[in-house]
Every structure is written in C-alpha cells, then in structure tokens.
Amino acid sequence: MDPEHIQSNLITCNSDLSNLKEIYNQYNVVVVPLDTISLSQKTIEIEATKFYDNFNSFSKKMVSEPSIEEKFVPRRYKSRKAPDDSSGFIHQYNTPIHNILHNNDKLIEAFNIMNPEYSPMKFAPNRLRICRKTCYDANSLHIEGKDILVDENGTVVLKKDEMACIVGLTGNRRFVFWDMTGADLTLLKDYWEKKGKKDFTKINPIWMNNIYPNRRRVIEIDCNNHPMLIMWSESTPHEIASMPSLSAYISPILQYNNAMINNVTSFQPLEYRGLTEHESDLIGMCYNMPGSRWPSNKKAYSYCHVQSYFRWKPDLKDYFIENDKIRIKLPIHGKINQKSQNYRKQLRKRKIKLNNIVFSETMPLFVVDILKMTDKELKMYGFIEY
C-alpha cells in the first residue's frame, strides 16, 4: 500500500523560520526553503561540481561528466558504468555544492534553532545522490541513533537528540516517514531491543503496518527553484523513496571523532594509517574524498563497495593494485601543490591545521584548493579552531 500524501506546505516552515520548531515537534520532520540561495547561484555551483572526478582517477575506463541538463532534469540522467550507479550515490565530497550550502546563513540558523547544542556548528563531509526513477522501497524502513527509545515517566518515547538532513537541489524530492504522534511505542521498543539496540535498525514493514497502521506518510518537495532542506529526527521511522532529483547530504555533528583509526581496509586510502578519524576527514576533503568513516559511523569506501570488488577490480589502474589485490590510495590527479613553501605559508597564515603527512614526499597533490574555502566553512569542518 502506498503511503498517505501530505501537502508539502503543511510541513514546510515559514521563510523567517518562525514556525520551524512547531512543525518539527509535531511531525519529527520539517522542510526549510533555502530561498536566500538564488537559482543563478545554485546553477553556477551545480555546474562547477564534478560527479566522476574521483572515479576517473581510479579507473582505466573513464565515464563522461553529466550535462547541465542531466543535473537539472534528473529523469534524463543517463546510466554510467560506475560503482553505485543503480543506487545513485555520487562519491564526491567537499564539492562546490556543499560549499554554497555550508556557507548559507539560513541553513546554519535552522540548525541552531533546532538544537542549540550544535552551536558552534560542526559538520562531517558527505556525498551527493542522483535519483532517476519514481518508486517506494518499503523494505528500507529503519530507525537510527543511539539509545533512541527510552522510558520517560512510564511512557516510551523516541529521543530526538540526533538530527539527519538532506538538501534537495533539483527535481522533486520525496521523503517517506511514519508519523508516530500519539502512538504507544512499547512494541516498537521491544522490537528494537530484540534486534540488539543497534544504532541502525531495519524494521519489517509488514510488522510495522500491522502494529502501527495508517501512519505511513510521504511528502514531495519541488526543488527546482532554490534548495530545500529536509530535517528529521534520526529516530523517526523512515524509508528510502525515489523521485527524479539531485540531493546533497549534510551532516551536522556534536563533536569531531578524534579516536585513532584502528584498521584501514583495502578499500580505504592507504594514507589514512596512523591518523585519527577526524584527521582522515580533513585530508579526504582535500581530495573530494570521504574520511575513514561516514557520519553514520559505517566504514566509508572511495571506489566501490567490497561486495562488488570482483566486478570493478579489472577496471582499476595499476597504481591501485598491489599483489593482485585492490589497494586504494588517495587520487593522483590533483594540481594543488600543498607542499610548496608559499602554500604552507598561506595555511599557517589562515591557521589551518592538517596532519604533517600531507607535506610528505609520497603524498599526492591536493585536488581541492582549501585556501579558497571561507574561514566560516573551515571552522565548521575543523580545519581551523573556533
């Protein structure tokens, strides 16, 4: 059964954000129009963002970058022989798209209103996604977060501490969630506990519909003019739902992960050995790459999922193969010489801190000129201390 459609205006806050918290408290979901970003500004940054720069650095078989029409009319986006093409994930991080979003005052204000604990704002790098089809995926139903179902004065409640969000950039973005307002969550808590109280718990949709009928909702948001920020509590049961659109994942965090990386796998850059998780995020961003882990805390991969190794291994350039096995390293197509005395001087002047490994002889040149990033954004990512 398809979910019940909710008019997007009911869940979209006013331009001045005056009813942001009210809508969020009612639905655990809210849409924020980022109308301070003009269509022309958005167009410039989307056009400047490369989708397959990293893949083409890894692979012997290069694929073409999408046209501006494909980016703005996602239903016309052509399939490409690249990992994750069917799911639509674009493995490019710290892109011009992300830059314009993180520098947007309205986006930051919305986060500060939602949870003052996020101030001063901190972000972890994340990726893009292109959707070409219209479909639901009931089997993707899940809840996320730590200790998300708790007893409060004899009543089971969903904690709202951890926020998730995505920004719709072009096309129409769809979001499916379950409205648990007024529901007795005791059975959901039992289900979650039996599944091991995991940070990510999939829920059987048939079970969910039997126990909590008539609560599945969908909103469809027009993102063709200005970007639209969708914010929700990670503990809210929600699903992956596709509609032709281009989106950017935005990941606010309460603190940087300064734990040492305990194991760098073969599908992660060799250069991450000996770094903290946060240091790998910063260095990865200098190459449009993820760090050791995604914000969800799952191990990130830069080329392809380990389950598709045998499919994509033959296409890898020899540089990324050792002893006939995949050995991912940072890409080598960069042109920004971070090792030059002048560049290092400018980094010191801006008080940008990076692990000294980036200046070693074996380190490839930067792909991203981080000196072009604003101090505001550099602080939010942790390149510069607040």
Residue 30 burial (C-beta neighbours within 10 Å; 0-12, 13-18, 19+):
buried
pLDDT tens digit string along 326-385? 999 999 999 999 999 999 999 999 999 999 999 999 999 999 999 999 999 999 999 999
Residue 161 pLDDT exceeds 70: no
pLDDT tens digit string along 190-245? 999 999 988 789 999 999 999 999 999 999 999 999 999 999 988 899 998 999 99
Query: Residue 163: its pLDDT value, please?
Result: 80
Least confident segment among 34-48, 61-75, 149-163, 251-265: 149-163
Query: Residue 115: its pLDDT value, please?
Result: 86
In the chain, the percentage of residues whose pLDDT exceeds 90 is 85
- When the pLDDT of each residue in the chain is averaged and rounded to a whole number, the result is 94
Return all residues near 149 (Cβ < 8 A) that are at least 6 apart. Answer: 156, 157, 158, 159, 185, 188, 189, 192, 193, 235
Long-range CB pairs of 332-337 (<8 Å, 24+ gap) are: 332/57, 332/364, 332/365, 333/53, 333/56, 333/57, 333/367, 334/287, 334/364, 334/365, 334/366, 334/367, 334/368, 335/365, 335/367, 336/365, 336/366, 336/367, 336/368, 336/369, 337/365, 337/366
Return all residues near 87 (Cβ < 8 A) that are at least 6 apart. Answer: 129
Rounded CA separation 102/125 (Å):
11
Residues of the chain with CATH 2.60.120: 4-38+97-252
Query: Residue 105: its pLDDT value, please?
Result: 97
Residue 121 pLDDT exceeds 80: yes
Q: Which CATH class is domain 4-38+97-252?
A: mainly beta
Query: Residue 297: its pLDDT value, please?
Result: 86
Beta bridge partners of 366: 336
Query: Residue 144: its pLDDT value, please?
Result: 85
pLDDT tens digit string along 125-153? 999 999 999 999 999 999 987 788 888 88
Query: Residue 357: its pLDDT value, please?
Result: 97
Query: Residue 342: its pLDDT value, please?
Result: 98
pTM of the model: 0.93
Report the 3 state secondary structure along the chain: CCCEECCHHHHECCCCCCCHHHHHHHHCEEEEECCCCCHHHHHHHHHHCCCCHHHHHHECCCCCCCCHHHHHCHHHCCCCCCCCCCCCEECCCCCHHHHHHHCCHHHHHHHHHHCHHHCCCCEECCCEEEECCCEEEEEEEEEECCCCEEEECCEEEECCCCEEEEEEEEEEEEEEEECCCCCCCHHHHHHHHHCCCCCEEECCHHHHHHHCCCCEEEEEEECCCCCEEEEEECCCCEEEEECCEEEEEEEECCCCCCCECCCCCCCCCHHHCCCEHHHHHHHHHCCCCCCCECCCCCECCCCCCHHHHHHHHHHECHHHEECCEECCCCCCCCCECCCCHHHHHHHHHCCCCCCHHHHCCCCCCECCCHHHCCHHHHHHHCCCCC
Residue 273 pLDDT exceeds 70: yes
